Structure formats: structure tokens, C-alpha cells
Amino acid sequence: MADQTLPIGGSIDVTLARPEARTALLEWLHGWVVTVDHKRLGILYIVYGIVFLLVGGVEALAIRLQLAWPDNHFLSPELYNEMFTMHGTTMVFLVGMTIVFGFANYLVPLMIGARDMAFPRLNAFSFWMTAFGGLLLYYSFIGGFGLYGMGAAPDVGWWAYAPLTAKAFSPGHATDYWALSLIVMGFGTLGTAINVIATTLSMRCKGMTLMRMPLFVWLMLVVSALTLVTITPLTAAQIMLTIDRYLGGHFFDTQAGGSAVVWMHFFWIFGHPEVYVLVLPAFGIASEVIPVFSRKAIFGYPAMVAASVGIAFVSLGVWAHHMFTVGMTSVGNTFFVLSTMLVGIPTGIKIFNWVATVWGGKIRFKTPMLFALAFVFQFLIAGLTGIMLSVAPWDWQLHNSYFVIAHFHYVLVGAIVFNIFAGIYYWYPKATGRMLSETLGKWHFWLFLIGFHITFDTMHYVGFLGMPRSIYTYEPDRGWNHLNLIISLGGLIQGIAVLIFAWNLIHSYLRGKRAGNDPWDAWTLEWSAPSPPPAYNFATDPEVHSRRPLWDLKHPEDPDWKYE
């Protein structure tokens, strides 16, 4: 039964009591496969993403082991190239995208007081497309038919620049698995994006105006719109590549007059906004976690919304800053310098607003908050190194060096993965009814933080010393030896931290403390539902009067709606 003290949503739980007896394993599995419930699909997405996080992490450790010292023979050059291609593709498409859309699936309906997504069956279809796309990619290890009939994973880099992907330079099927799996996953992603947009625009409960939506929902709306625009050119480019490889097309075939640069434009007009597709939901998680654990309302809500929409718009016009070295005109380069630097303004506003939210609060240092605070600090650095990279002449030096690797791992790990962890620690009690262990959580946080900084702070420096990316080994006389060993050790520490996290997920599921509806004393609608919420979320349609409906309930003497 729901908490009777809260007259919103969960007050009357009229869903049928679940059968107490344990159903057979097969039935249980069947239930997960045929489900169209947004919460179950959300959990499927996130579990799928965490499994591939471990796979991608093992690939990263293999890379780091190979680079720990010069002229190492742990991996062959061919296998090394497969490892970094698969690591990049996995982490972006199978980890980042799935976990982000998993959070969206689970949280958006709960946060806006809806009973499910707008199109539940499209939702299930999207998940299974994504899931099978990922399996297709990994099947290349067995079925990729490379040289000597061995399986071969894609080895052209996750950016897959033409003409290295042409039949002449990439025989076998490994590149085809890469292209086809991205097409399949792309359709899944598009389905979810349409679903999120439709849900946020048409399924909000009474009183939930757009400007009262939680920031996470706002950011998922922006991200979904951005996804619709950016996955399309990626899918188009993969189809063109496949036509080149099998039907004699010459889009990117430079030996027949095609253009390698056109591929770069297609890829980065997807690839750069893709970074924002991943990082904006992370902003959304931080914007939920930081206020609750600072015990203050988010500072400057309208500015946060405007900045998010602004970032999304500007991000569509910056893609060629990945191409400062391909020989664009000086005017072209200058344009992309300006557009890229402009991103810094809305991003700066966001950082200032998070700091101002903490300012004057009473901070509770629970694990979700630790991850979110580390995120703000690291994202500040990532933004500043981004400014450095936007300075085209300096980018001519830094491009494709380890400085770039450090910069984008600061964004993808320091911002996105940290916030994914924050989000999981924050909402795990809602999804499972159990608290994650704080002790294990703090071990996880501190080890991961230390490992992260050992690895990626050092990487900036080895980039300054001229070490390029994508190399399977390096010369011993370049002054990079000790630094690479340090980077690898940091990677190992992060690996241990992630194992602690995985153990925490399993252990707490079985033995964790009961969570109750609202363990964090939070303010958004999902905390009014039971943990875990029943299939239909809210027995009665909730009605809200401000951005923090539960604050209004808990503080009837000082409700938010007086000030908004």
C-alpha cells in the first residue's frame, strides 16, 4: 500500500495485488520479454547498458595494458585496432545511449504524472532493436569473416573515416557489421526519441505546465528532438557506405572520384550533437540530484531551460571543429571557432547555476551527491579544455593527440558516467524498493574518482608531449613511458571501483535496506509513488501546482507556487 500521508498519486493503490507465490523462472523471463511497461523497459535498457559498460571497460583495460610500456606485445596491432574501435562504439551506442534512454523511459512518465509512455509498443520495439543491434555488432567477433576465415571485429575506428572503410582497404565483413548494427540501433533510438517527445508534450498531468516540468524531463525533451535531427545523417551515411561497398556506389570512394571529406561532414554532423545527446541527460540528472541534497530549489530554472535549448541549437552548427586539420578555408575555420566558443556561454550559465544552487544550502553528502558534485568540478575542466580545442590553431596541434582523448573522456566519463552513477544511486531505491549500500557506494565513489583523475589528468599532459591517438605502441625515447604506466594504473583503479559498484547492485538488491516511497526527502512526483511503483504508477491522476509538488505538500506554510 502506498503512503497514506501523501494525497498525490499513490494515495490510493488500487492495482491488483501481485501474486505472492514465485512464478516459474520461464514465466518470469517471458514477462520481461513481452513487457511494454515503461519501467521494465527502462530497467532493461539500464541493465543492458551496465553489462556493456563492463564489456567496454574490459576493452579499455586491454588497451591500457598494451600501452602500459613501449613496444609491448600484449595485443597484436590488428587486435588493438579492433579493441579501440569496439570500445568507442560500445561506450557511445551500447552504454551511453541505452542508459540515457533507460533513465528517460523509467523517469519521464513518473515525473510528469503519466501512467506510461505515449506509445508503449513502439517503446518495446525500440528497446529490442537497440538490443539486437548491439548483439549484431558483437557477433562480428565470430562471424566477421576477416583474413584466413577468422572472425574479425571492426577495426576502422569508431569514426570510420573513408576511404579506410572502402572494400579495397577493409576487406571481409567486419565493417559491414559495424555499419548495419548502427543502422539497426539508429532506428531503435529514433523510436524512443519520438516516444519521449510525444509523452512529454501530451501526457503531462493536470497542472504540469511545460515550465513546471522537472529539469530532467526538459532535458530529455531537448535531447529527443536533437536525436531526431542527428541520427538521421548517421543512418544515411551508413546506407551510403553500404551502397559503396556492395552496389558500386562512389560516395566515399576516392579512387573513383568520391569524397573522403563528405564522410567526415556526415559523421560529425551526427557525432558532435551526439555528445550533447549524451551529456544533456547527465545535466538533467545533476539538476535533480544537486537541489535535493543541497536542500534548495534549483537556482534560475528558466535560465537552465533556456540554456539547454540554446546548447541544443548551437550544437547543430559546430560539427566541423572536428575537422580543423582537413584543410578548410581560413574563413570556414573561423566560423566554426566562433560557433564552438558560443557553446561555452549557455554551458557556463549551467555551471554557475549549479554552484548557486549549492550556495546557501545544507549539503548532505550521500553517494548520489558526491558523484554529482564531482561532475560539476570535472565538467568545468572539460568545458575549459573544450575552449582550448576550439582555438583552431591550437587544435592543429592538439587534434588527434591524447589531449583530445583526455578532453572527451572528461566529458563522457567525468560528466556522463559520473552522473549515470549519481542517477543510479539516486533512483535505485525507487526502482527496486531497496537502498544501495552507502559504504560500498563511498568506496566506489572515491576509488573511481582517484582512478579517473590519475588516468585522465595525466592524459592531457602526454598529449602536450605530442602522443597521437590510435597507436598500438609508441617509441621508447619520446618521454611518454612513465606517463603511460600511470594512466594504465589509474584505469585499473577505475576497473576495481566499477566491480564494487556491480557487486553493490546485486548485493543491495537481495539484502539492501528497505527504501520506502521517499528515502531522500525529495520533491518530484516519482517519489510519491510506492517503491517500486505499481504497473500503472499512479492510481489517481496527480495534480501539481509548482515545480516541486512534494515540497508544497511537506511545507504547506511556504509552498513554491507562491514564488513561481
Region 320-359 residues binding other proteins, contact defined as CB under 8 A? 325-327, 329-330, 333-334, 337-338, 341-342, 344-345, 348-349, 351-353, 355-356, 358-359
Which residues within the stretch 528-547 sit at the binding site for other proteins (CB under 8 A)? none
Which residues within the stretch 429-448 sit at the binding site for other proteins (CB under 8 A)? none
H/E element, 177: helix 174-202
Among 69, 125, 141, 464, binds other proteins (CB under 8 A): 464
Residue 328 CB neighbour total at 10 angstroms: 16
Residue 212 phi/psi, 5-degree rounding, is -110, 0
Q: Is residue 297 helix, strand or coil? A: coil
When the beta carbons of 228 and 303 are compared against other proteins, the nearer one is: 303
Residue 475 within binding range of other proteins, rule CB under 8 A: yes
- Give least dist CB 161 to other proteins, A: 5
The Cα 202–Cα 236 span in angstroms is 30
H/E element, 190: helix 174-202
- Give least dist CB 488 to other proteins, A: 15
Interhelix angle for 330-358 vs 301-315, to 10°?
A: 160
On whether the CB atoms of residues 528 and 549 are closer than 8 A, the answer is yes
Among 7, 120, 361, 433, binds other proteins (CB under 8 A): 361
Which residues within the stretch 225-254 sit at the binding site for other proteins (CB under 8 A)? 254
| Maximal C-alpha separation, the chain | 76
Per CB under 8 A, the segment of 54-62, 89-97, 180-188, 472-480 that binds other proteins is: 472-480
| C-alpha grid cell, residue 1 | 500500500
Binding characters for other proteins, 373-412, by CB under 8 A (x = yes): x--xx--xx--xx-xx-xxxxxxxxxxxx-----------
Residue 364 within binding range of other proteins, rule CB under 8 A: yes
| Location of C-alpha cell 550533447 | 276
- E-strand ranges in 34-159 read none
Which residues within the stretch 7-66 sit at the binding site for other proteins (CB under 8 A)? none
Cβ-based neighbours of 157, under 8 Å, separated by 6 or more: 81, 84, 85, 88, 164, 470
Binding characters for other proteins, 145-164, by CB under 8 A (x = yes): ----------xxx---xxxx
Residue 453 within binding range of other proteins, rule CB under 8 A: no
Q: How many residues does the chain have?
A: 564
Q: Is residue 11 helix, strand or coil? A: coil
- Give least dist CB 478 to other proteins, A: 6
Which residues within the stretch 163-192 sit at the binding site for other proteins (CB under 8 A)? 163-164, 169
Which residues within the stretch 273-302 sit at the binding site for other proteins (CB under 8 A)? 294-297, 299-302
- Give least dist CB 186 to other proteins, A: 23
Residue 255 within binding range of other proteins, rule CB under 8 A: yes
When the beta carbons of 29 and 345 are compared against other proteins, the nearer one is: 345
On whether the CB atoms of residues 497 and 447 are closer than 8 A, the answer is yes
Residue 147 phi/psi, 5-degree rounding, is -65, 150
On whether the CB atoms of residues 385 and 460 are closer than 8 A, the answer is yes
When the beta carbons of 127 and 418 are compared against other proteins, the nearer one is: 418
Count the residues of the shown chain that bind other proteins, applying the rule CB under 8 A. Answer: 99
Residue 206 phi/psi, 5-degree rounding, is -65, 135
- Give least dist CB 229 to other proteins, A: 25
Which residues within the stretch 73-112 sit at the binding site for other proteins (CB under 8 A)? 76-78, 81
When the beta carbons of 401 and 508 are compared against other proteins, the nearer one is: 401
| C-alpha grid cell, residue 21 | 507465490
